[in-house]
Amino acid sequence: MPVRTFTKRSKYTIQRWLRHGALALAVSTAMTAGMNTTMMSAHAAVTTADFSNLVQQVTPAVARVNVTKTVSEAELAQAQTAELLRQFFGDRVQIPDQAATPAIEHAYGTAFFVTADGYMLTNHHVVQGADKVTVTLNDRTELDATLVGSDERSDVAVLKVTGTQFPALPIGDSNGLRVGEPVLAIGSPFGFDYSASAGIVSAKSRNFSRDTSVPFIQTDVALNPGNSGGPLFNQRGEVIGINSRIFSGTGGYMGLSFSIPIDAAMDIYQQLKTNGEVARAYLGVYPQDIDRNLAEAYDLERPQGALLTRVSADSPAQKAGLQSGDIILEYNDTQIMRADDLLNLLNRAKPNDTFHAQVQRDGEQMTVSGVVTYAPDDVRARSGDQQENDIQLGIRLRDLTDDEKVEVAASDDAGVLVTTVDPTGLAARSGILAGDVVTNLHQKPIQDVTDFSSAISSLPEKGVVTIEVIRQGIPAIIGLRIE
């Protein structure tokens, strides 16, 4: 399964580098001659890091993940056509569903042992929609794996194989990572098993969108399709991250790689192992960054804090006294420099956790406190609660709040929010994503969870029905295949 990629067009100036190569070499030589001994020693320490013993030590705990999926020929052609059209027309393209003979698709990724009794970590996108998952150890032993649970927002999945005395890897502290620290990755890029690549930590706490709940570790370690789900090690041989995605204009490595911090991953692991799902805290705020102009307008010494543009009615934030226009400067004794800092802390919190925040309001600072809760009306989507057909789509959803109805441009009384998608369920196979707002199912308007339950109980036992959603503000129609 490919590492997730972010596309960005780039232009290279290799010719210019070659043209000025002689000058660059002369300048480099002169600079090197003027270096002091301490700087040269530090440079040598970084560039000559020897991971050979570490690779030999940890490789037995890393495994290749082999994934088998059942897809129709029409779905394969549809995916290729959709990708081609989106290159020209963007994500507004809608491709009608077609029936065809199912085909088998094979994909791969990487996983690693975290317990001696067979629990393994990998990426959600590696096993998403899988019909069968096996893992191949470095001694070529192949084992069937069971999907314990998977979480799309963090891109973490937990697998379990039968057996004992597996070589579990030691877990490190990703919070203690320093920018510039050497790191090592092991995985199966392009199917080349147990390939090692090394680099340094380039940055910490990288966020890409509100759809993810992970402050990624950025490195310059070479990652490619197949590295997904593999471990990222520090020099002590401790796992400090799960390799997840790259930033690329070609689909391959271009110097920017991103890993899930192991602290966040282990929290997800414990919840999936214990409960089979991830419970996230709800505060009910909409924060944004503060730029130079806003800092001056709010009498701040520099751009810092998370400005609350909206506080949801009857939310934990409102009950604690937070208001629109407040600036959160600290949350649970952690300084908040950007909105992402606050979101990262909230994503790590659990329902019923207490919080206290230092807030600036109208030029005055104050402290507020309260208790975060579960997201409102969070319920499982199941066909009619013990109805005869008992179709399980594998999603979790809830009613929209008033603020969310405004944000997704839905009508005042229509839509339910998909909060979780089981990667092995019917919904995932049809392309339904967490964050979608369902407005119609099988030609039945959906205003709330009750409407959805009623519509799902009337679905046929087999065939394709339509489900209308709003995704990132754009309406779409999806063919939901029921098998």
Identify the pLDDT of residue 389: 38
Q: In the prediction, which pLDDT does 153 show?
A: 83
Tell how far CA 135 is from the center of its chain.
Answer: 22
Which candidate in 97, 151, 155, 326 is catalytic? 155
Distance between CA atoms of 207 and 215, rounded to whole angstroms?
5
Find, among 400, 385, 392, 393, the residue nearest to 454 by Cα: 385
Q: Which comes out higher in pLDDT, residue 66 or 39?
A: 66
* pLDDT single digits (tens) 435-471: 888 988 888 888 888 888 888 878 887 788 888 888 8
Q: How far apart are CA 477 and CA 467, in angstroms?
A: 6
For the segment 73-129, what is each residue's pLDDT rounded down to a tens digit?
A: 555 555 555 555 444 444 444 444 444 445 677 788 999 999 999 999 999 999 988
Give 12-51 pLDDT, tens digit per residue.
Answer: 333 333 334 433 333 333 333 344 444 444 444 444 578 9
CA distance 112 to 120: 5
Structural domains present in the chain: 1-279 (2.40.10.120), 285-371 (2.30.42.10), 379-482 (2.30.42.10)
| Catalytic option among 188, 197, 228, 383 | 228
Residue 192 above 70 pLDDT? Answer: yes
Give the per-residue SS3 of 126-194.
HHCCCCEEEEECCCCCEEEEEEEEEECCCCEEEEECCCCCCCCCCECCHHHCCCCCEEEEEECHHHCCC
**Annotated active-site residue in 125, 213, 341, 378:** 125
Dump pLDDT digits (tens) for 102-112.
Answer: 567 778 899 99
- 125 flagged as catalytic: yes
Residue 228 bears catalytic tag: yes
pLDDT, one tens digit per residue, over 201-253 is: 998 887 765 555 678 999 999 888 889 999 999 999 999 999 988 776 555 56
pLDDT of residue 209: 53
Quote the CA–CA distance of 98 and 76 in Å, as a whole number: 11
464 or 163, which is more confident?
Answer: 163
Among candidate residues 427, 311, 312, the one with its CA nearest the CA of residue 376: 312
Q: What are the distances in angstroms from CA 389 to CA 78, 424, 451, 466? A: 29, 19, 17, 18
Alpha helical stretches, state H, 355-401: none
Decide if 110 contacts 64 (C-beta within 8 A): yes
**What integer best gives the mean pLDDT of the chain?**
78
**Single pTM value for the model:** 0.64
Residue 212: predicted pLDDT: 56
